Amino acid sequence: MQGQQQPPPLTAPPSGSGGASGTAEGADAAAVGRVRVAVGQMTACGDQAANLAVCSRLAQDAAAAGCTALFLPECFSFIGESPAQSLAAAQPLEGPLMSQYRQLARDTGLWLSLGGFQEAGPDPQHIYNTHVVVDAGGNIAAAYRKIHLFDVDVPNGPLLMESRTTAPGSEALVVDTPAGRLGLTTCYDLRFPELFAHLAWERGAQGGDGGWELLETRPLRG
């Protein structure tokens, strides 16, 4: 990672935090009953209408299977052939493309985790890579802008600089859903355990403690 100084990873809950249950925002894991969620697999392309059609089929399959939420991948709505195409495709969260996904949530009665949306950014040269959670009523419950951008210079390999066309977010987010309190992250965030420690120990994000049961290994495929 170039140009960003990261704090050392946490190896224990911060002193005084009391863990997830000790925070003012802490959710009671026992209050969340068994729910079924779906994870959708798809190969997005540069056609936003075609991607929406695939996501719609996945949502219909998830609803028919009795799921309460569908998790879709990063760049679910668009993958272009160049950063310039992503810049051109970006829209605000109040724009027509996100409105269609909000309508999809209403039509299917599902919560949608939209893993990475090209949100219009702070200037014409940058977008936000935004993880959007839409509730079953079609309301945007949370919008997390990816904090850790993928800036990597591989020796004798490619130079990948997400920051050239993407602006970083600055706020860690959790959201309460039928599946519990979820911490929102995207892709390269996984390399920074201090973010996950903060979400779990200070913000009350749930999971990883035996509260999840894998019911089916067949993913929904678009």
Active-site positions read: 74, 146, 187
Q: Which of 157, 71, 89 is nearest to 127 (CA)?
A: 89
The three-state DSSP-derived secondary structure of the chain is CCCCCCCCCCCCCCCCCCCHHHCCCCCCHHHCCCCCEEEEECCCCCCHHHHHHHHHHHHHHHHHCCCCEEEEEECCCCCCCCHHHHHHHCECCCCHHHHHHHHHHHHHCCEEEEEEEEEEEEECCEEEEEEEEECCCCCEEEEEECCCCCEEECCCCCEEEHHHCECCCCCCCEEEECCEEEECCCHHHHHCHHHHHHHHHHCCCCCCCCCCCCCCCCCEEC
Q: How far apart are CA 219 and CA 41, in angstroms?
A: 7
Cβ-based neighbours of 119, under 8 Å, separated by 6 or more: 90, 91, 92, 93, 127, 128, 129, 130, 143, 145
Q: What token pair was written down for 85?
A: 């195409």
